[in-house]
Amino acid sequence: MTIHLSSDDCLLAIESTCDETAAAVITRSGCVLGECVATQETLHEQFAGVVPEIAARAHLERILPVIDTAIVQSRIAMDRLVAVAVATHPGLPGSLLVGLSAAKALALAWSKPLVGINHVQAHVYACGMGHGSSIYPCIGFVVSGGHTSLYHCHSATDWAYLGGTIDDAAGEAFDKVAVMLGLPFPGGPQLSALASSGNPRAIQFPRPLLDDHTRLDFSFSGLKTAVRYHIAGTGQKDWSLIELSDQDKMDIAACFQQSVIDCLVGKAVLAVKKTGLKRICLGGGVAANRRLREQLQAACDSKGIELLIAAPELCTDNAVMGALAWEKIERGEYDSLELDAQPGLLRPALGAKRR
Ligand code: KG4
Ligand code: ZN
């Protein structure tokens, strides 16, 4: 079924997969009429990580004011709204349920169709917003606090899993090393700022799995441990007492960041070699990292690969990337009110066979 839409038609998109509560009103032509993101960083800071139960409760408090703000800002008449879209997977179960319940209630109350979307696919879709032409087929590369995965994206929603982290996600490793350096949560952006004053060649940290050209996987857990042992000395348990100079901290940050970037760039280029695709689309929170953007761009330029990276404000979680729902709406692919949250990761089960 093909649905005829006008460029003025709007959808309301809702995002609550992790610790950002977000809503946006987006036209079919990609114009963002209203947007609101409520972060929860201060709530999770003392735990140096996202606490699922706290996240779910905070979503519950924020979801209606956030949606209200986006709609009021958009100034649309309700008859322009053609659907309510919501990210239903992957994510934290309690967090997903808050967004999904709100979306279902509004869809029912307003008699609008409901559309469930995949959060990881939305991160890649964000790379094409404002691009003008389709970004598919491409290598979709999502690097965030919860994901570090490569996909063969045949279209916006037809994906095959190529490889990903076998332990920590890259953003998670950034956040954990940031804690070792005494930086506040989420430490990725602060660690990256500290790294800009350090020497990326001062310490030789490992590049896990980088030399294994048979697989498109990542492993950041051992790298994190290597940083910890560098700080404390091998085998030491109580590293909290170690005093680091500012220069030490800057060098550790720069060298850790460089190891992560080398792995990310190396495997992205290997994915191109293995699939024959000539376009990489990079999204997710860590894609906001300036050095990663520059170094992946340089690698792609030298190999004739087209690179599209989500705009920095669309890298971390937001609802604007929920414009992905238009792809399903155009095909008349709506969901019923039976739609459920699927917390698990986007692993091979969702796409075709792993290559
Ligand atoms: O996409 P996102 O908002 O949430 C998930 O879906 O996980 O990503 C958040 C992650 C955090 O781990 C944060 O530290 C990391 O992205 N991050 C960065 C930078 N900005 C955000 N990591 C490194 N450098 C940055 N500039
Ligand atoms: Zn995300």
Report pLDDT digits (tens) over 171-217. 999 999 999 999 988 899 999 999 999 999 999 999 999 999 999 99
Please choose from 15, 17, 21, 144 the residue to mutate so as to test ligand 1's pocket, defined by most ligand atoms within 8 A of CB.
144
C-alpha distances in Å from residue 108, one per residue of 27, 103, 112:
21, 9, 7
Instruction: Evaluate if residue 348 carries a pLDDT over 50.
Output: no
Average pLDDT rounded to a whole number, residues 79-92: 96
**Cα(41)–Cα(225) distance, integer angstroms:** 25
Looking at the domain covering 10-125+316-330, what would its CATH class be?
A: alpha beta
Instruction: Evaluate if residue 57 carries a pLDDT over 80.
Output: yes
The third-level CATH classification (topology) of the domain covering 134-309 is Nucleotidyltransferase; domain 5 (3.30.420)
Average pLDDT rounded to a whole number, residues 328-344: 95
**Cα(307)–Cα(280) distance, integer angstroms:** 5
> pLDDT tens, 278-290?
999 999 999 999 9
**Cα(120)–Cα(124) distance, integer angstroms:** 7
pLDDT, position 234: 64
Tell me if 289 CB under 6 Å of ligand 1: yes
Q: Which ligand gives the minimal distance to the CA of 194?
A: 1
Which ligand 1 atom is the nearest neighbour of the CA of 284? Answer: 1
Confidence category of residue 349, pLDDT binned at 50, 70, 90: very low
Instruction: Evaluate if residue 45 carries a pLDDT over 60.
Output: yes
Q: Which ligand gives the minimal distance to the CA of 315?
A: 1
Tell me if 18 CB under 6 Å of ligand 1: yes
Q: Where in the chain is the domain with CATH 3.30.420.40?
A: 10-125+316-330, 134-309
pLDDT, position 350: 36
Tell me if 95 CB under 6 Å of ligand 1: no
> pLDDT tens, 134-169?
999 999 999 999 999 999 999 999 999 999 999 999
Confidence category of residue 29, pLDDT binned at 50, 70, 90: very high
pLDDT, position 1: 59
pLDDT, position 249: 96
Q: Does residue 13 contact residue 31 with C-beta atoms inside 8 Å?
A: no
- Any bridge partners for residue 118, and if so which? 89
Average pLDDT rounded to a whole number, residues 210-225: 97
Confidence category of residue 269, pLDDT binned at 50, 70, 90: very high
Which ligand 1 atom is the nearest neighbour of the CA of 315? Answer: 1
Tell me if 283 CB under 6 Å of ligand 1: no
Instruction: Evaluate if residue 346 carries a pLDDT over 70.
Output: no
Q: Does residue 252 contact residue 224 with C-beta atoms inside 8 Å?
A: no
Instruction: Evaluate if residue 351 carries a pLDDT over 70.
Output: no
Instruction: Evaluate if residue 3 carries a pLDDT over 90.
Output: no
Instruction: Evaluate if residue 319 carries a pLDDT over 80.
Output: yes
Confidence category of residue 240, pLDDT binned at 50, 70, 90: low
Instruction: Evaluate if residue 347 carries a pLDDT over 90.
Output: no
| Averaged pLDDT score across all residues of the chain | 93
Tell me if 146 CB under 6 Å of ligand 1: yes
Tell me if 91 CB under 6 Å of ligand 1: no
Average pLDDT rounded to a whole number, residues 59-79: 97
Residue found by looking up tokens 């139960």 in the block: 53
Percent of the chain with pLDDT over 70: 94
pTM: 0.94
Instruction: Evaluate if residue 23 carries a pLDDT over 70.
Output: yes
Instruction: Evaluate if residue 297 carries a pLDDT over 90.
Output: yes
> pLDDT tens, 95-131?
999 999 999 999 999 999 999 999 999 999 999 998 8
pLDDT, position 267: 98
Confidence category of residue 42, pLDDT binned at 50, 70, 90: very high
